[in-house]
C-alpha cells in the first residue's frame, strides 16, 4: 500500500512509454540547442539567396588584367559599404588604379586596427575552355557551384568580409577596434602600385594597423589552410656568350654549350628540392622552387632560324621562389659559382628580387603558435565556427601580405574554402555556394574575436578612468 501511494505521487512512472517520450524529447532539445549555440546564427533562405546574388554581381564585373574595369567594381563595392553605413574613401597611389578603403570605427581608438585586405583584379580567362562563360557567375543547379574567374582568387573573400560585417551589424555588434577593409588593385601583376604603395603611404601609417587578414588557398579536404609567410620571387636571367661558329664545327666554350651546362645544374637542384616535397619531408612552400620560363638563342632568318650557325649569345629565364627561412647567401653563391660562373663567360641579372626579410632584418613571417595572441584568437574563432585549421604553411607563391609583413605587421593568408579543388588561375574556377556561405560565418566569428580583443592595448581612456 505504501509503495502504491509513492508511485501515485509520480504519475509518469506509471506510464513508462510517456516517460520515454519526455526524456527523448528533452535530450533532443538539449542537443539541438547545444548544436545551434555552437553553430551560430544560420542563414534564412532569403538571406542566403541575397548573399549569393551579391557575390554573383561582383563576379560579373570583368576586372581581368591587363584592362580591369576598376571603376565599376569600386562603384559596386561602395554601394555595399553605403548600405552598411561604412565610411569609404578612394585613393589612387598610381593613376588609373583606384584603391577603395572602408572603415568601421571602433569604440576604443587607441587600439590597433584590424585590416581585411583583398584585391579586385583577376587574371585573364580563355572563354572557349570553360563550361560556362568566365564572367557569367553561372550557378550550376545540380552542384551548387558558382563558375567565374575570381570565385576563388579572390572576390569571394572581399564579399565575405562585407557579408560578415552585414551580419555583425544586424546583431548590434560594436567593435572595440576599428575595422578597415581595403580593396586594392594590381595584385595579379605584382601589387606594387596597389598594396605596395598603400603600405608605404602616410595614410597607412596613420591607420595604426595591428593585424592583417589576406588571401590564402582552397583546401581539397575538411581542414582550412592558413599561411603565415610566403616565398619571395627572384626572377633571374642567365646569359652565356661565346664565339660564333659553323654549325658543323665542334669546339669548346660555345654560348649554347655553356648555357646547357647551367640548365643541367639548375635541373639537378630543382629535382633535389622537389624530391623533398614528394617524400613529404617538406611542404611546397618550404623549399626553393626553380622553373625555366624561357630559352632564347639562335640567329633569326625569314624562315625561322639560321641552321648552320652556332649563336654567340644564349640566355634562360628562371622563376625562383625563396622561402623566408632559406639561406639566401648560399643560394646566391650557387648562382654565381655553379649556375652562371664567369669562368664560362656567363653573367646573370635579377629582373625582380624580393627580400625574404622585413625592414628590421628579420624573416618576414608571422608567428603561428601560442606566442602570438592573434594566432590563438584565430584558432578559437575557427572552433566556434565549427571549423578546424590545418598546419600553418608558407604560401608557395606571392600575395599582398608581404607588403604588410615587411613592416613587421602580423598577417595571415586565409581563404575559407574547404572541400574545394584549387582552381585559381585555372579553367572553370568555381566555388560552391554552401562553402561561400559557410565562409561568411567563419569570417563573422574571426572578425568578432579580433575586433573585441584588447590584449595589446595602450588604452589611455581606461587609464584615465582608473
- Could you give all domains of the chain from N- to C-terminal order, each with its CATH number? 45-226+368-465 (3.40.630.10), 232-353 (3.30.70.360)
* Mean pLDDT (whole number) for 3-9: 38
| Average pLDDT for 101-129 | 98
Asked whether residue 223 is marked as a ligand-binding residue, the answer is no
In this prediction the pTM is 0.84
Residue 237 has pLDDT above 80, yes or no: yes
The pLDDT tens digits for 66-96 are 999 999 999 999 999 999 999 999 999 999 9
For residue 298, pLDDT over 60 is answered with: yes
Backbone phi and psi for residue 352, each to the nearest 5 degrees, phi listed first? -155, 130
pLDDT reading at 40 higher than 80:
no
pLDDT(392) > 50: yes
Adjacent-strand bridge partners of 297: 314
Give 41's pLDDT tier (boundaries 50, 70, 90): low
DSSP per position, 225-279: P-EEEEPEEEEEEEEEE---EETT---S--HHHHHHHHHHHHHHHHHHHHHHHHT
Cβ atoms of residues 454 and 176 within 8 Å: yes
Question: Residues for the chain: how many in total?
Answer: 466
Q: What is the mean pLDDT of the chain?
A: 91
Q: What's the whole-number mean pLDDT along residues 352-375?
A: 96
Residue at grid coordinates 563558375: 147
Report the relative pairing of strands 209-214 and 113-119 from DSSP bridges. Answer: parallel
Q: For residue 22, is pLDDT > 90?
A: no
- pLDDT tens profile 156-197: 999 999 999 999 999 999 999 999 999 999 999 999 999 999
User: 249-263 pLDDT, tens per residue?
Assistant: 999 999 999 999 999
List pLDDT tens digits, range 135-146. Answer: 999 999 999 999
Q: Which residues are known catalytic residues? A: 121, 187
Q: 18-24 — which CB contacts under 8 Å span 24+ positions?
A: none
Task: Give the mean pLDDT of 22-42.
Answer: 43
pLDDT at residue 38 in the model: 39
Q: Is 119 annotated in some ligand binding site?
A: yes
Is 431's pLDDT higher than 80?
Answer: yes
337 annotated as belonging to a binding site for a ligand: no
Amino acid at each position: 500500500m505504501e509503495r502504491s501511494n509513492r508511485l501515485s505521487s509520480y504519475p509518469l512512472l506509471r506510464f513508462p512509454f510517456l516517460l520515454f517520450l519526455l526524456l527523448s524529447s528533452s535530450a533532443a532539445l538539449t542537443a539541438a540547442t547545444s548544436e545551434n549555440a555552437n553553430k551560430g546564427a544560420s542563414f534564412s533562405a532569403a538571406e542566403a539567396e541575397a548573399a549569393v546574388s551579391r557575390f554573383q554581381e561582383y563576379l560579373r564585373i570583368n576586372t581581368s588584367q591587363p584592362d580591369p574595369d576598376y571603376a565599376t567594381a569600386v562603384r559596386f563595392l561602395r554601394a555595399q559599404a553605403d548600405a552598411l553605413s561604412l565610411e569609404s574613401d578612394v585613393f589612387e597611389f598610381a593613376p588609373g588604379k583606384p584603391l577603395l578603403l572602408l572603415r568601421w570605427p571602433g569604440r576604443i581608438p587607441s587600439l590597433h586596427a584590424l585590416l581585411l585586405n583583398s584585391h579586385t583584379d583577376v587574371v585573364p580567362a580563355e572563354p572557349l575552355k570553360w563550361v560556362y562563360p568566365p564572367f557569367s557567375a553561372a550557378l550550376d543547379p545540380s552542384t551548387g557551384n558558382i563558375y567565374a574567374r575570381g570565385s576563388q582568387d579572390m572576390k569571394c573573400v572581399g564579399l565575405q568580409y562585407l557579408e560578415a560585417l552585414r551580419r555583425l551589424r544586424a546583431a548590434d555588434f560594436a567593435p572595440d577596434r576599428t575595422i578597415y577593409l581595403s580593396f586594392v588593385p594590381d595584385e595579379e601583376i605584382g601589387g606594387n602600385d596597389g598594396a605596395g604603395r598603400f603600405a608605404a603611404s602616410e595614410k597607412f601609417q596613420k591607420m595604426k594597423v595591428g593585424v592583417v587578414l589576406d588571401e590564402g588557398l582552397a583546401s581539397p579536404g575538411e581542414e582550412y589552410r592558413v599561411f603565415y609567410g610566403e616565398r619571395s620571387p627572384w626572377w633571374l636571367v642567365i646569359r652565356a656568350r661565346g664565339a660564333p661558329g659553323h654549325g658543323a664545327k665542334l669546339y669548346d666554350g660555345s654560348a649554347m654549350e655553356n648555357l646547357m651546362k647551367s640548365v643541367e645544374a639548375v635541373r639537378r637542384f630543382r629535382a633535389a628540392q622537389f624530391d623533398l616535397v614528394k617524400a613529404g619531408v617538406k611542404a611546397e612552400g618550404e623549399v626553393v622552387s626553380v622553373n625555366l620560363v624561357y630559352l632564347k638563342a639562335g640567329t633569326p632568318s625569314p624562315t625561322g632560324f639560321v641552321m648552320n650557325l652556332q649563336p654567340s649569345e644564349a640566355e634562360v629565364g628562371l622563376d625562383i621562389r625563396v622561402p623566408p627561412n632559406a639561406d639566401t647567401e648560399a643560394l646566391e653563391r650557387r648562382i654565381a659559382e655553379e649556375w652562371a660562373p664567369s669562368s664560362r663567360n656567363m653573367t646573370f641579372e635579377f629582373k625582380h628580387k624580393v627580400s625574404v626579410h622585413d625592414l628590421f632584418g628579420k624573416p618576414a613571417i608571422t608567428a603561428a603558435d601560442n606566442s602570438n595572441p592573434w594566432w590563438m584568437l584565430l584558432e578559437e574563432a575557427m572552433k566556434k565556427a565549427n571549423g578546424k585549421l590545418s598546419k600553418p604553411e608558407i604560401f608557395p607563391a606571392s600575395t599582398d601580405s608581404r607588403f604588410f609583413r615587411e613592416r613587421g605587421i602580423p598577417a595571415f593568408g586565409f581563404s575559407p574554402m574547404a572541400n574545394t579543388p584549387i582552381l585559381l588561375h585555372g579553367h572553370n574556377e568555381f566555388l560552391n555556394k554552401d562553402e561561400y556561405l559557410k565562409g561568411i560565418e567563419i569570417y563573422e566569428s574571426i572578425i568578432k574575436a579580433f575586433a573585441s580583443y584588447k590584449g595589446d592595448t595602450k588604452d589611455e581612456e581606461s587609464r584615465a578612468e582608473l
